[in-house]
């Protein structure tokens, strides 16, 4: 760390020799690797972008210029060199620095970025704001090749000419998203990055003409020659066709070449795209060999409850759908660049004609699923809750309005841990509950997950099955030794299930919060609280099972609903409203617990649950406080 420790300010980089810059790149990679392997984070992408960051900070001044990173997977070296070296060991930890750019974290982070493909649009906004305010600084957007495939990025490219402003796009091309990129644009970029004939010929002509006398006639001839050469030798270029000057490809690990390109771009008065080719995972052999495995690294910490052994929820869901596909040839799977994260590798291998990885394009994926369903198939859309936000219009208009049988396997629902604010799966419930025709369910364990998928496969309309991050409990009943349940002979999976009988107060959970409620009952038992509560698995969040809930609320004086999401707009809010509107005079008072009206920061899931009050002790305290209020009211009477 000899050189890095001497960097008191990013401006110091301009005085370093090429040898020192090269050595510094190695030190940055070493520190990034050591911290990420401990704390978790996005390793391979940041390792591949080290020289880009160094060259940007030697060519631009982020105190004046605006440097925007798409997603933020590439920005760890940038954080280290812009005043966060002493805090980098807190990366992705509770109270530490974020794994993504954050405006409130540093004046050098100019735009928050956790989802892909926003940088070009934001850069155009920054550039136009500069023009309107009469300023002269530069605006640079660094975007990965896979992020460029998203529709939002294409919309920004399409508007770049119309904007009439100068902006610099840096395309970091490592041929990857999390997995290898897909689609026609990927092929186009590959063709551009492998074409050296034009660049070689251009240099040869320039060198040959260097000694010729200059004149307007010669300039005109050379200009026409250049146009003809480009037409003959250079591949068709979508960026040039959109009137965005394309320069490249450049070696993304050659700082001298990058800085020369950046200096020219600064002097250029029109929009320009610099195509930079890098190696994902550069400098870390394991990451270079397997960049997919080292895209996101899990933290080296003790496992949280529920993480030990067994299948993850993602693995369990993928295995169940694979089994369904073996029996039903209509079952197809879709994912938006998350084949590995959603554990769909085996499905893709077994049924390549029935598996569709559309790249980072959630909106397209959902509408394509609607078309597949309308065409007679049974599509299953695997998507993280946070990324489903990007396709809600398509869910509403293209799937639900037509009442098409699409199953949404919504992964990482609820609190997700160290990825923090941008990745929490907290909005799928309040956004989905008002949508007509849509059924929303939440399994409590692997057994109920299987039952819900089988149930959903028989429905005539859309169903959401939401499940959390982490390990799936095989069977919650067996884990908690629940053998005597009040169950109905009705096998309708949309009805609530009473797991433990009690009196006076009821604990209502769904999905992950069912186990929270069972643990709260054990906490009440240990504390000697009597009577013990009834524990209910709601199972279906939409349509709400009103008849069964009215009966439950009428037979108890108090109920706690634990949300695996925001309390505003959630199932608990609807149950509380149901209690207030019931015909029963003595319907239960309802207390709702869940995530308050905040963006939950990064940390472990346990820390986030504690922060939001989602603990067994806090659940029991709600009943204790209710009893105290009831006693005070009785004393007044």
Catalytic residue among 79, 130, 280, 519: 280
pLDDT at 238: 82
The two beta strands, 139-144 and 168-173, are parallel
The residues that bridge with 561 in the sheet, in sequence order, are 508, 592
pLDDT at 190: 54
Question: Which one is predicted more confidently, 619 or 305?
Answer: 619
Residues 6 or more apart whose CB falls under 8 angstroms from that of 74 comprise: 45, 46, 48, 49, 52, 53, 142, 144, 172
Whether the per-residue pLDDT at 511 is higher than 70: the answer is: yes
User: DSSP H helical segments within 441-500, as ranges?
Assistant: 446-456, 476-479
Catalytic residue among 102, 390, 469, 477: 390
First-to-final CA distance of the chain = 73
pLDDT at 629: 87
569-589 mean pLDDT? 80
Contact assessment for residue 474 and residue 445, using Cβ atoms and an 8 Å cutoff: yes
Question: Which one is predicted more confidently, 229 or 439?
Answer: 439
551-569 mean pLDDT? 95
Cβ count within 10 A of residue 256:
12
Whether the per-residue pLDDT at 578 is higher than 60: the answer is: yes
Q: Can you tell me the distance from the alpha carbon of 33 to that of 40, in angstroms, rounded to the nearest whole number?
A: 10
pLDDT tier at 146, thresholds 50, 70, 90: confident
In the structure encoding, which two tokens stand for residue 15, read together?
């005085």
The answer to whether 362 is a known catalytic residue is: yes
Give the least confident one: 233-242, 407-416, 606-615.
233-242
Average per-residue pLDDT for the chain: 87
134-142 mean pLDDT? 96
Rg value, the chain, Cα: 28
CA 132 to chain centre: 33
Structure confidence by residue, pLDDT tens digits, 9-52: 999 999 999 999 999 999 999 999 999 999 988 888 899 999 99
Query: What is the phi/psi pair of residue 207, to 5°?
Result: -65, -40
The answer to whether 326 is a known catalytic residue is: no
pLDDT tier at 579, thresholds 50, 70, 90: confident
Percent of the chain with pLDDT over 70: 86
List, as one string, the DSSP characters of 55-88.
HHHHH--TTTSEEEESSSTT-HHHHHHTT-GGGG
The residues that bridge with 505 in the sheet, in sequence order, are 558
484-509 mean pLDDT? 78
Structure confidence by residue, pLDDT tens digits, 167-183: 999 999 987 545 554 55
pLDDT tier at 212, thresholds 50, 70, 90: low
183-211 mean pLDDT? 53
Query: What is the phi/psi pair of residue 296, to 5°?
Result: -120, 125
pLDDT at 283: 77
pLDDT at 285: 74
pLDDT tier at 454, thresholds 50, 70, 90: very high
The answer to whether 390 is a known catalytic residue is: yes
Q: Can you tell me the distance from the alpha carbon of 466 to that of 29, in angstroms, rounded to the nearest whole number?
A: 37
Spell out the SS3 assignment of 439-453: EEECCCCHHHHHHHH
pLDDT at 237: 80
pLDDT at 485: 45
Report the range out of 38-42, 296-300, 462-466, 550-554 with the highest average pLDDT: 462-466
Catalytic residue among 66, 339, 362, 444: 362
Structure confidence by residue, pLDDT tens digits, 268-323: 999 999 999 999 888 777 877 777 767 667 776 555 544 556 799 999 999 999 99
Structure confidence by residue, pLDDT tens digits, 83-123: 999 999 999 999 999 999 999 999 999 999 988 899 999 99
Predicted model pTM = 0.85
In the structure encoding, which two tokens stand for residue 275, read together?
């195509």
């Amino acid at each position: 760390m000899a050189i890095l420790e001497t960097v008191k300010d990013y401006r110091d980089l301009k005085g370093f020799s090429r040898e020192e810059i090269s050595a510094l790149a190695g030190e940055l990679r070493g520190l990034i690797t050591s911290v990420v392997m401990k704390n978790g984070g996005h390793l391979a992408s940041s390792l591949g972008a080290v020289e880009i960051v160094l060259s940007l900070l030697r060519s631009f001044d982020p105190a004046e210029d605006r440097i925007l990173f798409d997603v933020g997977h590439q920005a760890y070296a940038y954080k280290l060199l812009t005043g966060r070296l002493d805090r980098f060991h807190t990366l992705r930890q509770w109270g530490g620095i974020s794994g993504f750019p954050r405006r409130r974290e540093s004046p050098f982070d100019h735009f928050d970025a956790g989802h892909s493909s926003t940088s070009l649009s934001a850069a155009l906004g920054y550039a136009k704001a500069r023009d309107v305010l009469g300023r002269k600084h530069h605006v640079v957007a660094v975007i990965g090749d896979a992020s460029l495939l998203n529709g939002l990025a294409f919309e920004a490219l399409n508007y770049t000419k119309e904007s009439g402003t100068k902006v610099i796009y840096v395309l970091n091309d490592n041929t990857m998203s999390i997995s290898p990129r897909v689609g026609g644009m990927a092929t186009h970029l590959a063709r551009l990055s492998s074409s050296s004939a034009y660049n070689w010929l251009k240099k040869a002509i320039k060198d040959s003409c260097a000694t010729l006398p200059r004149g307007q006639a010669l300039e005109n001839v050379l200009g026409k020659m250049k146009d003809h050469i480009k037409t003959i030798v250079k591949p068709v270029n979508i960026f040039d066709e959109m009137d965005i000057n394309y320069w490249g490809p450049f070696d993304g690990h050659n700082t001298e070449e990058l800085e020369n390109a950046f200096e020219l771009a600064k002097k250029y008065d029109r929009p320009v795209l610099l195509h930079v080719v890098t190696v994902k995972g550069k400098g870390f052999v394991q990451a270079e060999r397997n960049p997919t495995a080292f895209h996101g690294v899990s933290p080296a910490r003790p496992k949280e409850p529920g993480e030990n052994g067994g299948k993850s929820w993602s693995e369990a869901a993928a295995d169940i759908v694979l089994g369904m596909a073996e029996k039903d040839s209509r079952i197809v799977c879709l994912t938006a660049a998350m084949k590995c994260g959603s554990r769909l590798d085996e499905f893709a291998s077994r049924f390549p004609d029935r598996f569709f990885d559309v790249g980072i394009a959630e909106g397209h994926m959902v509408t394509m699923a609607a078309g597949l369903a309308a065409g007679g198939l049974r599509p299953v859309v695997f998507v993280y809750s946070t990324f489903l936000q990007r396709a809600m219009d398509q869910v509403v208009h293209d799937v639900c309005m037509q009442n098409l049988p699409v199953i949404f396997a919504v992964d990482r629902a609820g609190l997700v841990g160290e990825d923090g604010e941008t990745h929490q799966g907290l909005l799928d419930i309040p956004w989905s509950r008002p949508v007509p025709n849509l059924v929303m369910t939440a399994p409590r364990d692997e057994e109920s997950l299987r039952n819900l998928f089988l149930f959903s496969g028989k429905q005539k309309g859309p169903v959401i099955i939401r499940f959390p991050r982490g390990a799936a409990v095989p069977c919650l009943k067996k884990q908690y030794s629940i053998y005597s349940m009040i169950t109905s002979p009705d096998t309708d999976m949309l009805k609530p299930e009473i797991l433990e009988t009690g009196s006076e107060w009821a604990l209502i959970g769904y999905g992950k919060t069912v186990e929270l409620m069972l643990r709260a009952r054990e906490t009440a038992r240990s504390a000697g609280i009597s009577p013990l509560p009834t524990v209910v698995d709601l199972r279906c969040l939409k349509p709400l099972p009103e008849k069964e809930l009215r009966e439950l609320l009428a037979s108890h004086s108090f109920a706690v609903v634990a949300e695996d999401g925001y309390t505003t707009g959630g199932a608990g809010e609807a149950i509380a409203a149901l209690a207030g509107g019931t015909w029963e005079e003595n319907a239960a008072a309802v207390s709702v617990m869940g995530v308050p009206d905040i963006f939950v920061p990064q940390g472990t899931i346990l820390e986030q649950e504690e922060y939001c009050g989602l603990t067994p002790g806090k659940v029991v305290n709600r009943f204790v406080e209710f009893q105290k209020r009831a006693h005070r009211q009785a004393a007044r009477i």
